[in-house]
């Protein structure tokens, strides 16, 4: 394959959502490059190469698909932390959430989210949306320089 | 003839000689008397009947030497004229005679006889001497007379004689006066002509003629002259006295008389104005004098009334007569001044109040001689006093009866009057405070920092107003029986005299205790209310938060499992389709459909929740524009529908555009939906402009509804049609209602089944 598939970081606490999301991404062979985080804290550990991710290869993922409602540290807090971190602030972040709340939208855009996608209830639509996301961010989109390092695999 | 003529001539001569008044004699040189007449005998004292011819001429020379001198002169000159001789009569009585003698000679020139006449000059001489003496006397008199005397030429060309006084009056010496032209002495030369005319007209004599003469120093002297025209002497004889000083004095007198009379007039006038008359009672003559004003006060005139102590009494009011007599008597006896108030019934029948004052004047021996005094008409003052007393009583009444608590202080702040209302609210009595309480020393005033306000009234004459909480039991220096606790809205204003000095202060209270307590109650209630509002708000906020959290949950947490159901159904279908029977596939389809429906419900519910929560962003909204957008969008969504749109021009409103968009979307969407069964759908859009609001409406010719259920129309999830008939969640009109409500408007509807429906909503005018 000439197409370079880069790592997608998926922060999602609900295993069913994870499964369905991976199912959607699997259709385009994108599922193998997905690393799933169970909450915000784990996400930040991963990004900072801390905790159980101390040993991981350095480098940022191509995109972070971020759910808002998560235990311990929610998506908004994660986004805020990323945008205020020198090493991480250019990381593309896409909110992938059930919330259509205006407040969440406004806050996310204010914090500099790259895209905001509401998970459609209809599974077909959901699959379609996730597929497009995966393809766009993991394949089409040119990542910022700092993200490329981790992709040499 | 000659002899006869001679004899006749001799006879004539003889007669002449005989009756001549002068003595005649003819005598020989030897002294023998040849002839004489009777006068000769009479003068020399002889018997006139005796003929002395031939007798020797008696020696009548007093001094014998005188005869020799006489003879010598006679012989030398042949005659002698007017020769005075001191002779003597025969009885030796001395006489003076004046002799005229001549020698009679013969043809040869020989001396024949001496003839002569003589007159008795003694009488003449005596007369002359008397005359001389008299002249001296008159001259002395003339000279020393204390009137100016003069004689001047009639034509005034020269003064012939003047006396000393003349010179004194005019400041001239005798030498300077004499020969001086008369007229130059007149102050005005014309005056002399006038005088002359008058003089002639009055027969040559003028008495007491006033003339103005010019003194040497140029001063004009007024003189009173008597002038006599003396034609024999060709002179004017005049006397005059200097009346310059008298004139001056007269003038001064006149002036002072004028001044006095003027003063008297003024006094009269002043008395009239002041209504004070004066009087004088001569205790010795019993005569009473009144000034004009006194007459006026009594209503009489000097013509119709003669005042006297007794006569005056009849004008005294009967009740005052006794006092009248007693008072005068007392004054006369004790010498104390008189001061009485009397009522008069005047001649013209008026009742007058008068004040009589008087004083006794004593002579050097201490005898009372006069009683002088004044009489003042004080009727006006009495009346004014009455009026004043009335108005004072009036004011006192007002103050006392006033429901406004007030009291009055003097210039020091000491309470001098207090009204009932004030006593009542403070639960004090007049005795407690009058003359004792001083606002400047009031500790309650001081404690509440109001002393400076109070001082401004007394020091600067300002009016001040303040509120004071007064508890009389806290007032120091007073032990009051009851206690009053009040809140007073107090106004203090100064009363000033004509110089602007503060003489009193009026303190008015308004008892605002009730009001303040009520206000406090209100404040307390308000505070409570505020607390409650805060609490309620907090509760609302909390419940809002909960609602938000709920919405969030609905949005997120409810959708997630739904999505999962949908997702797994899809996966089941995708991976195990071949394992499922047709029935099994139908179930899966039904599950999917329900999930989709629930998804729609959840979304609608969320939106409904949001319309209630989100903040309105209001501006002028053009309803035409919104309606156009909505209808266009509806037409696009329903391309196969044939709808007749009837729209009148709509008004702009002030509101939230997005929300109003939703309103129209729901109403027009419903209209489209419920006319679905109509071949010719007709949707009418319009507005009624009411007084305070704009009423928009959407009328359709759709299926309508039964008005029985109209009240359910705008409720959440309320539906009047089955889902199979017309899809929908029952949220749309609930949203419309909520949005219109938030704009301050109302919603309602009219319909009839199968005939169509009209939906109204109103938006208040701006």
Is B681 an interface residue toward A (CB < 8 Å)? no
Contact B291, B271 (CB under 8 A): yes
pLDDT given for residue B467 in this prediction: 92
| More confidently predicted of B743 and B267 | B743
- How many percent of chain A have pLDDT more than 90? 25
Question: CA B622 to CA B650: how far, in whole Å?
Answer: 8
* CA–CA dist A98, A92 (Å, integer): 20
Expressed in angstroms, the distance from the first to the final Cα of chain A is: 14
Interchain contact A119–B (C-beta under 8 A): yes
* Residues forming beta bridges with residue B28, ordered by sequence position: B113
Q: What are the CA-CA distances from residue B599 to residues A21, A95, B571 (Å)?
A: 19, 20, 19
Residue A3 has pLDDT above 80, yes or no: no
Measured CA to CA, the distance from residue A119 to residue A104 in angstroms comes to 14
Q: Which among A25, A12, A24 has a CA at the least distance from the CA of A98?
A: A12
What is the per-residue pLDDT across B24-67, written as a single tens digit (0 to 9) for each? 888 887 888 888 888 888 888 888 788 888 888 777 888 888 88
Q: What is the mean pLDDT of residues B464-473?
A: 91
What span, in angstroms and rounded, lies between the C-alpha atoms of B44 and B171? Answer: 56
Q: Which of A73, A129, A117, A69 is nearest to A93 (CA)?
A: A117
CB B205 within 8 A of CB B227: yes
Residues in A touching B610 (Cβ below 8 Å): 102
User: Between A and B, how many CB-CB pairs are < 8 A?
Assistant: 65
DSSP state of B716: T
Select from B609, B739, B569 the least CA-distant residue to B665. Answer: B739
The SS3 call for residue B535 is helix
Which residue in chain B has the smallest CA separation from A118? B556
Task: Find the radius of gyration of the CA atoms of chain B.
Answer: 77
Answer for the pair A99, A112: CB distance below 8 angstroms, yes or no.
Answer: no
Q: Which run of H or of E encompasses B734?
A: helix B732-742
Looking at residue B1, its pLDDT comes to 53
Interface contact B555-A68, CB threshold 8 A: no
pLDDT greater than 90 at residue B761: yes
List the beta bridge partners of residue A34: A8
Checking if the pLDDT of A113 tops 90, the result is yes
pLDDT at A110 > cutoff 90: yes
Tell me: the pLDDT tens digits for B475-507?
888 888 888 899 999 999 999 888 888 989 999
CA distances to B193, B314, B350, B383 from B346, rounded to whole Å, are 64, 9, 5, 17
Nearest to B555 among A14, A100, A127 (CB): A100
Secondary structure class of B261 (helix, strand, coil)? helix
Q: Which residue of B has its CA nearest to A96?
A: B556
Residues of A whose CB is below 8 A from B564: 14, 16-17, 20
Instruction: Please provide the average confidence, as pLDDT, over all residues in chain B.
Output: 84
User: Are A137 and A62 within 8 A, CB to CB?
Assistant: yes
Q: Are B512 and B488 in contact (CB under 8 A)?
A: yes
Give the pLDDT band (50/70/90) at residue A153.
Answer: very low
- Averaged confidence pLDDT in chain A: 83
What confidence tier does A152 reach under pLDDT thresholds 50, 70, 90?
very low
In tens, the pLDDT along B283-300 reads: 888 889 898 888 888 889
Question: Residues B116, B100: contact at Cβ < 8 Å?
Answer: yes
CA B14, B15, B18, B20 dihedral sign is negative
Q: How far apart are CA B313 and CA B492, in angstroms?
A: 55
pLDDT given at position B32: 86
Long-range contacts of B716-724 (CB under 8 A, 24+ apart): B716/B608, B721/B674
**Cα dist from B608 to B163, B323, B601, B604, B748, whole Å:** 151, 110, 10, 6, 19
- Scan for tokens 């001056």, then name that residue: B248
**Which residues of chain A have a CB within 8 Å of the CB of B602?**
121
Contacts of B567 in chain A (CB under 8 A): 16, 20, 23, 123, 126
- The secondary structure of A64-111 as a DSSP string is EEE-S--SSS-HHHHHHHHHT-TTTTT--EEEEES---HHHHHHHHHT
**Distance from B612 to chain A by nearest Cα, in Å?**
14
Mean pLDDT of the region B8-25: 78
Percent of chain B with pLDDT over 90: 18
Which residue out of A70, A121, A122, A125 would a mutagenesis test of the B interface target, given it has the greatest number of B Cβ atoms within 10 Å? A121
A-facing residues of B in 565-584 (CB < 8 A) are: 566-571
CB neighbours of residue B271 within 10 Å: 21
- What is the tens place of the pLDDT at every residue in B341-363? 888 888 888 888 888 888 888 88
Buried residues in B77-110 as b, exposed as e (16+ CB within 10 A):
eeebeebebebbbeeeeebbbbbebbbeeeeeee
Verify whether the Cβ–Cβ distance B567 to A16 is below 8 Å. yes
How far is B561 from chain A, CA to nearest CA, in Å?
A: 9
- Give the model confidence (pLDDT) of B519-537 as tens digits: 888 888 888 888 888 888 8
Closest by Cβ to B570, choosing from A97, A98, A123? A123
| Greater pLDDT, B393 or B410 | B410
Q: H or E element: which one contains B739?
A: helix B732-742
C-alpha distances in Å from residue A94, one per residue of A38, A118, B122: 16, 10, 192
CA atoms within 13 A on the CB side of B246: 7
Burial (Cβ within 10 Å: 0-12, 13-18, ≥19) of residue B609: middle
Question: Is B750 in contact with B704 (CB distance < 8 Å)?
Answer: no
- Average pLDDT, integer, range B214-237: 83
What does the H/E/C string look like for B419-464?
Answer: CHHHHHHHCCCHHHHCCCCEHHHCHHHHHCCCHHHHHHHHHHCCCE
pLDDT digits over B69-122, tens only?
Answer: 888 888 888 888 888 888 888 888 888 888 888 888 888 878 888 888 888 777
Closest to A99 measured CA to CA, from B548, B730, B658, B738: B548
Give B647's strand partners: B685
Q: Which of B544, B557, B567 to mutate to test the interface with A (most CBs of A within 10 A)?
A: B567
Encoded tokens for B156: 């005034």
Q: Which one, of A87, A130, A96, lies nearest residue A114 by Cα?
A: A96
**Alpha-carbon gap, residue B354 to B382, rounded angstroms:** 9
Res A150: pLDDT: 44
User: How many CA atoms are closer than 13 Å to the CA of B763, on its beta-carbon side?
Assistant: 25
DSSP B337: P
pLDDT at position A125:
82
The whole-number pLDDT of residue B661 equals: 93
Quote the tokens at residue B500. 């602007």
**B125 pLDDT higher than 50:** yes
Out of A16, A102, A127, closest to residue B564 by CB? A16
CA distance B590 to chain A (A): 14
Radius of gyration of chain A (CA): 14
| Residues of chain A positioned with their CB less than 8 A from the CB of B563 | 17, 20, 98, 119-121, 123, 126
The pLDDT value recorded for residue B181 is 63
Top-confidence range, A122-136, B75-89, B451-465: B451-465
């Amino acid at each position: 394959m000439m197409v370079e598939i880069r790592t997608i970081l998926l922060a999602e606490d609900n295993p069913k959502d994870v499964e369905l999301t991976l199912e959607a991404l699997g259709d385009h062979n994108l599922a193998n490059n997905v690393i799933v985080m169970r909450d915000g804290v784990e996400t930040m550990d991963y990004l900072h190469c801390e905790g159980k991710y101390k040993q991981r290869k350095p480098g940022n993922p191509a995109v972070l698909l971020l759910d808002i409602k998560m235990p311990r540290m929610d998506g908004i807090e994660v986004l805020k932390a990323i945008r205020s971190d020198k090493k991480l602030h250019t990381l593309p972040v896409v909110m992938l959430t059930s919330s259509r709340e205006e407040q969440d939208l406004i806050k996310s855009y204010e914090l500099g989210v790259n895209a905001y996608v509401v998970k459609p209830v209809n599974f077909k639509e959901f699959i379609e949306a996730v597929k497009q996301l995966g393809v766009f961010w993991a394949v089409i989109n040119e990542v910022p320089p700092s993200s490329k390092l981790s992709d040499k695999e | 003839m000659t002899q006869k003529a001679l004899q006749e001539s001799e006879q004539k001569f003889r007669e002449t000689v005989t009756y001549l008044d002068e003595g005649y004699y003819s005598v020989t040189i030897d002294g023998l008397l040849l002839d004489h007449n009777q006068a000769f005998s009479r003068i020399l004292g002889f018997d006139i009947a005796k003929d002395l011819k031939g007798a020797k001429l008696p020696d009548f020379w007093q001094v014998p030497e005188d005869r020799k001198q006489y003879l010598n002169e006679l012989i030398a000159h042949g005659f002698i004229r007017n020769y005075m001789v001191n002779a003597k009569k025969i009885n030796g009585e001395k006489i003076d005679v004046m002799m005229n003698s001549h020698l009679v000679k013969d043809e040869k020139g020989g001396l024949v006889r001496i003839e002569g006449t003589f007159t008795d000059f003694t009488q003449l001489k005596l007369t002359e001497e008397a005359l001389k003496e008299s002249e001296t006397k008159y001259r002395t008199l003339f000279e020393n007379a204390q009137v100016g005397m003069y004689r001047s030429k009639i034509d005034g060309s020269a003064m012939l004689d003047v006396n000393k006084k003349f010179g004194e009056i005019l400041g001239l010496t005798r030498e300077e006066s004499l020969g001086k032209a008369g007229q130059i002495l007149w102050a005005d030369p014309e005056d002399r002509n006038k005088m002359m005319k008058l003089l002639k007209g009055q027969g040559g004599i003028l008495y007491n003629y006033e003339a103005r003469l010019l003194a040497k120093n140029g001063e004009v002297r007024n003189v009173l002259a008597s002038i006599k025209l003396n034609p024999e002497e060709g002179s004017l004889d005049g006397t005059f006295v200097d009346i310059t000083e008298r004139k001056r004095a007269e003038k001064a007198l006149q002036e002072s008389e004028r001044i006095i009379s003027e003063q008297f007039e003024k006094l009269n006038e002043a008395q009239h104005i002041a209504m004070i008359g004066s009087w004088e009672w001569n205790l010795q003559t019993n005569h009473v004098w009144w000034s004009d004003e006194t007459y006026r006060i009594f209503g009489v005139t000097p013509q119709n009334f003669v005042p006297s102590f007794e006569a005056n009494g009849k004008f005294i009011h009967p009740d005052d007569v006794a006092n009248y007599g007693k008072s005068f008597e007392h004054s006369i006896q004790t010498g104390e001044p008189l001061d009485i108030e009397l009522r008069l019934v005047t001649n013209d029948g008026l009742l007058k109040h008068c004040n009589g004052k008087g004083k006794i004047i004593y002579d050097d021996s201490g005898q009372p001689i006069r009683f002088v005094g004044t009489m003042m008409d004080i009727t006006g003052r009495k009346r004014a006093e009455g009026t004043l007393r009335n108005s004072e009583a009036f004011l006192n009444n007002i103050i006392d009866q006033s429901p406004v608590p007030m009291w009055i202080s003097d210039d020091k702040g000491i309470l001098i009057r207090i009204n009932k209302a004030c006593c009542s609210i403070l639960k004090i009595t007049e005795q407690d405070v009058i003359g004792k309480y001083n606002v400047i020393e009031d500790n309650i005033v001081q404690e509440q920092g109001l002393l400076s306000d109070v001082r401004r009234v007394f020091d600067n004459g300002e009016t001040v107003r303040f509120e004071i909480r007064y508890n009389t039991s806290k007032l120091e220096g007073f032990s009051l029986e009851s206690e009053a606790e009040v809140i007073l809205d107090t106004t203090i204003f100064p009363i000033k005299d004509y110089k602007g000095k503060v003489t009193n202060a009026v303190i008015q209270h308004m008892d605002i205790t009730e009001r303040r307590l009520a206000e406090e109650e209100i404040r307390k209630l308000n505070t409570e209310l505020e607390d409650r509002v805060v609490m309620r708000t907090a509760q609302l906020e909390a419940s809002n938060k909960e609602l938000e959290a709920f919405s969030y949950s609905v949005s997120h947490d409810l959708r997630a499992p739904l999505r999962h159901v949908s997702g797994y159904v899809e996966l089941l279908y995708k991976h195990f389709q071949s394992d499922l029977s047709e029935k099994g596939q139908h179930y899966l389809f039904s599950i999917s459909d329900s999930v989709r429906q629930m998804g729609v419900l959840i979304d609608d519910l969320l939106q409904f929740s949001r319309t209630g929560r989100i903040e309105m962003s209001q501006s002028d909204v053009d309803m035409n524009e919104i309606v156009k957008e909505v209808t266009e969008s509806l037409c696009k969504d329903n391309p196969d529908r044939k709808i007749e749109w009837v729209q009148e021009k709509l008004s702009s409103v002030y509101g939230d555009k997005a929300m109003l968009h939703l309103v129209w979307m729901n109403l027009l969407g419903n209209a489209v939906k419920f006319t679905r069964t109509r071949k010719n759908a007709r949707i009418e859009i319009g507005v009624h402009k009411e007084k305070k609001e704009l009423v928009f409406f959407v009328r359709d010719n759709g299926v309508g509804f039964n008005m029985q259920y109209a009240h359910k129309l705008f409720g959440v999830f309320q539906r009047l049609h089955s889902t199979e008939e017309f899809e929908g969640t029952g949220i749309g009109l609930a949203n419309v209602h909520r949005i219109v409500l938030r704009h301050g408007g109302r919603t309602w509807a009219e319909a009839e089944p199968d005939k169509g429906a009209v939906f109204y909503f109103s938006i208040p005018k701006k």
